[in-house]
Chains A and B, each alone.
Chain A
């Protein structure tokens, strides 16, 4: 079991470019979460999928951010027209929803917007 896999580990974009972050949850886990970590705000919840359906996106910025889970093996977080304030570590986690288990986190994608 390779754990939650996030790619790329590091991404550098220019202001205004698009960034797509990938997450492969642990096989069999039906809940997938995205979090963002910055020095100033700490770790913040972004969005949550269960059985590929979006359940709670209350933490997502209303503009430029979108997340999808087209199949059970991966989820994507897309940021359009990236801004310097989007620079952060984006963490993905998964957990089986039918058991009371702690979410398992990937190693994150460090996004730097220049």
Chain B
């Protein structure tokens, strides 16, 4: 079965609303990451190996490694936040092989 369950698959917000994205992992993990994929396809790392809660601007990542879950909170969404958000896990130390979730397609409307 899928090792990374990401939800929701898609989300439509009005500008200014908040968003909560979730990832659950079915196996133990060494580390995990959150990425943003721009509409043209390039991937940008948002958070790398976060544990606990970390914040970067309007983004907050909360990860509990031993419970195999992570969430990404986007506050006061903006139109430019639109795109795909992906979580990914590194299942074992030294493997360097990321296993990605299926992504959340976020659309922020004016």
Contacts and interface: CB of A to CB of B under 8 A. Distances in A.
A57 B88 CA distance: 18
A6 to B, nearest CB: 10
Given A56-B95, A100-B49, A102-B48, A43 B42 contact: no
Contacts of B44: 105
Interface string B34-50: 01000011111100110
Contact of A101 (B42, B48, B88, B99): B48
Contacts of A44: 100
B98 to A, nearest CB: 6
Nearest to B95: A56
Interface in B67-100: 86, 88, 95-100
Interface string A100-114: 111111111010000
A89 B41 contact: yes
Contacts of B98: 33, 35, 43, 45, 103
Contact of A43 (B40, B45, B100): B100
Nearest to B35: A105
A93 B45 CA distance: 11
Interface string A6-48: 0000000000000000000000000101010100001111001
A108 B42 contact: yes
A45 B97 contact: yes
B41 A110 contact: yes
Contacts of A55: 96
Interface of B: 33, 35, 40-45, 48-49, 86, 88, 95-103
Interface of A: 31, 33, 35, 37, 42-45, 48, 50, 55-56, 58-59, 89, 91, 93, 97, 100-108, 110
